[in-house]
Amino acid sequence: MNAPWNPKTGVGARDAFNAFVCDDETADAVKVVAAELGWAVEKVNKGGLRNAVQTLSVSSSPMVLLVDLSESGDPLNDINALAEVCEPGTIVIAVGMINDVKLYRDLVASGLQDYLLKPLSADAMRETFMHAQVTLQGPKHVEIDASDRPRTTIAVIGTRGGVGASTVASSLAWLSADSQGRSTALLDLDVQFGTGALSFDLEPGRGLTDALENPSRIDGLFIERAMVRVGDKLAVLSAEAPISQPLITDGSALFQLQEEMRNAFETVIVDLPRTVAVQHPHLLSDVNHVVVVTEQTLASTRDAIRLLGFLKANAPHARVTMVANRVGTNPPPEVARKDFEASIERKIDIVIPLDVKQAVGAAKQGRALAAVANGKVGSALHALAVQLAGEIAAEVEAKTLMSKVRSLLPNKGAAKASGKK
């Protein structure tokens, strides 16, 4: 049903939107959001899925179709019947009463754009309709890769605000999905001022704030619905929560969120503000890699020393990669590289040059810097991604080798039994 829509064929004969619902409450909720989007409210019909199949069998299907499955005894079979009367390119959104992640996945696999639970939330409906409009211009869908490829979580932390940690995080997420072909999630934990969605010219949605306000809702189904999709392999969970009402959390919701995302994606990139990391150090307990982004300034030198000490105490298992960002030559950095490395007692792994023109170009296009960067900036970002990928591969190889060694060792219980004999 979600086949690519060709805007050159059949536009004049097709309605922008149609809905077939089972009750007045749902009809009223749909009409409110449809009116906001400029869709004709008289296209909201009663009768549910059965009426939709009968109507569309003798008329053109709309570009966006909402159907109510509440009265359906076998939603999957009924959706297949609907598919037979829908024209290619129709975006189908279902609503229903059954809260089941398997049903949701089966419905999406059958061609649905989304499945919303009743009673309908205006925000959720608005967000779904906006996604449908984006899909009409170029269908995008995240497919959860069920392969046994290694999974990893990478935290990106800046030594100070404004050093470009979010730019590095979004670039790593884009490279992981685009160049390495891994199903990737970008989790932006700057709840009030995060730029994860903004980096890709997307609306952040309410997924992250909903998770913090209602931790009990966090499960596989929630993750699949809350993520804002960038492409086939990349999704973002970000927020722009009101600064007048800070979200109070003990960090358990954030930890649970990371757990569920690890189950759903091969790579999870966490844009982790240093203040959040310090307040909730348990968020680093399952992180495989930490990318510390810094500038070569006196203040960043001091904070890099403190942050590395914090990581050594709270994430001794994680591999740390030091990235010097926005390094200029005219004027030179405030602290020379040699002096910076001597102060932090370790080497800088990657140096990303300052290039204002490329950074501005990426922002204007609504794309990750790595997607548009070339020259030294592009090479540095790709080198960082390749280095992390190599570390992931090395970890997997080491684990595989250890498993093989263990399999060759005699069973302790069997050895004792043999000794007794």
Please list the alpha-helical segments (H only) found in 86-236: 101-109, 122-137, 165-178, 207-213, 220-226
Burial code of 345-374, b = ≥16 C-beta within 10 A, e = fewer?
A: eeebebbbbbbeebbeebbeeebbbbbbbe
Measure the CA–CA gap between 212 and 191, rounded to whole angstroms: 10
DSSP H or E run through 115: strand 114-117
- For the four alpha carbons of 77, 82, 85 and 88, in that order, the dihedral sign comes to negative
Q: Is there a cis peptide before residue 119, judged by omega within 30 degrees of 0?
A: yes
Q: What is the pLDDT of residues 70-97, one digit of tens each?
A: 888 888 888 878 887 887 778 899 999 9
Percent of the chain with pLDDT over 90: 46
User: Which of 270, 315, 316 is CA-nearest to residue 293?
Assistant: 270
Q: What is the pLDDT of residues 147-182, one digit of tens each?
A: 456 789 999 999 999 999 999 999 999 999 998 899
Compute the CA torsion angle 173, 177, 182, 187 (nearest 10 deg): 30
pLDDT of 266 above 90: yes
Compute the CA torsion angle 377, 378, 379, 383 (nearest 10 deg): 100
The answer for residues whose C-beta is within 8 angstroms of residue 406's C-beta and 6 or more apart is none
- Fill in the amino acid letter for 57: S
Q: Output the pLDDT for position 108.
A: 79
Please list the alpha-helical segments (H only) found in 265-374: 274-279, 298-314, 337-344, 356-365, 369-372
Measure the CA–CA gap between 64 and 70, rounded to whole angstroms: 19
Q: What is the pLDDT of residues 351-379, one digit of tens each?
A: 999 999 999 999 999 999 999 998 899 99
Q: Which residue has the tokens 């999905």?
A: 177
pTM (2 decimals)? 0.63
